[in-house]
Amino acid sequence: MKAAKTKYAEYYQIYVWELPVRFYHWINALCIVVLAITGYLIGQPIAIHSSTEASFQYWFGTVRFIHFSFAFVFFFNFLYRIYWGFVGNSFASWKTFIPYTPQHWKEIFHVLCLDVLQICKKPLKSIGHNALAGLTYFLTFLVFLFQAITGFGLYAGMSDNWFTGLFTWIIPLMGGDFAVRQWHHLMMWFFIIFAMIHVYLVFYHDYIEERGTTSSMVGGWKFIEKPEKE
């Protein structure tokens, strides 16, 4: 570990996450929380022993309605993020997500060794995503896509909407609604587990690297210490 930092070290200020990226992130986070909770409830509705007539309540219908509306927000927010991967700054670029160079893979193993297994000593501090995080987000994007396709495919059966009609091909491909529903439900757990690890690792990096990782997704700024002049 370099002893670069002394008291009153000087810092670069770097604008890492642009406003659209931050918006995307929080809208996405909100959607995932809402979709996971409503999705879980749709799979395992809570037992209500009520004497109220069915005509006076609609809670399950409302839960489903919320699930469906947030699904649309989630999907178009995601499409927007893909677009931003082509026009945004270098930290938002699609190139940070797909490990298409040996350099990417070297960094992935480095991160695994340093931060996950904690057996390497050689420091590595990325400014935007590190290569392993990028690859993980790429996988989540694939799951986003899978959830969108299966979800809209299931939804198309009860709607005349042309947009969801674009996804009906998934049903015969996976062998019927039951299988599609089962996988759609299983993938919910991917999001739950992803969210746990994601939040933990943000705290971890903030703690170990002291660059304001957590707050960067709110304000957009990270602070990188200037290397010391000898």
Partner 1 sequence: MPHKPQTILEQMLAKGYTRRDFLRFCSYITAAAGIHASGLSKVVKALETKARPPVVWFHFQECTCCSESFIRSSHPIVADIVLDKISLDYTETLQAAAGHQAEEALHKTMKENYGNYLMLVEGSVPTKDGGIYCTIAGKTALSTVKEAAEGAAAIIAWGSCASNGCIQAANPNPTGATPIYKIITNKPIINVPGCPPIAEVMAGVVVHYLAFNRIPQLDGLKRPKAFYSKRVHDSCYRRPYYDAGLFVETFDDENAKKGYCLYKVGCRGPVTYNSCGIIRWNDGVSYPIQSGHGCIGCSEANFWDNGPFYQHLASFPGFGIETTADTIGTILGIGTAAGIAAHAVATNIRKRKIIKHELEHSVKDEELKATDEEKKGGE
Residue ranges binding partner 1 (CB under 8 A):
1, 3, 5-8, 40, 43-50, 54-61, 63-64, 116, 118, 157-158, 168-169, 171-172, 175-179, 181-182, 185-186, 188-189, 192-193, 196-197, 200, 204, 207-208, 210
Rounded to 10°, the helix 19-43/177-209 angle is 130
Place of tokens 């797909």: 98
E strand residue ranges, the chain: 11-15, 221-225
**Shortest Cβ 32–partner 1 spacing (Å):** 15
Q: Are 85 and 134 in contact (CB under 8 A)?
A: no
Distance CA 93, CA 81 (A): 10
In angstroms, the CA 110 to CA 131 distance is 9
Least distance in angstroms from the C-beta of 13 to partner 1? 18
Give the residue from 132, 138, 151 showing the smallest Cα distance to 35. Answer: 151
Q: Measured from the CB of residue 99, what is the shortest distance to partner 1 in angstroms? A: 23
Residue 176 or 219 having the CB closest to partner 1: 176
CB of 15 to partner 1, least distance (A): 24
> At closest approach, how far in Å is the CB of 200 from partner 1?
5
List of residues 6+ apart from 190 with CB closer than 8 A = 140, 143
Helix and strand numbers, DSSP H then E, in the chain: 8, 2
In the complex, the smallest distance separating the C-beta of residue 158 from partner 1, rounded to whole angstroms, is 6
Smallest gap from residue 116 Cβ to partner 1 (A): 8
Residue (55 or 162) nearer to partner 1, CB: 55
Closest to partner 1 by CB, 59 vs 100, is 59
3-state secondary structure of 132: helix
Neighbours of 106 (CB within 10 A): 12
State how far the alpha carbon of 107 is from the alpha carbons of 86, 111, 148, 184, in Å.
Answer: 23, 6, 31, 32
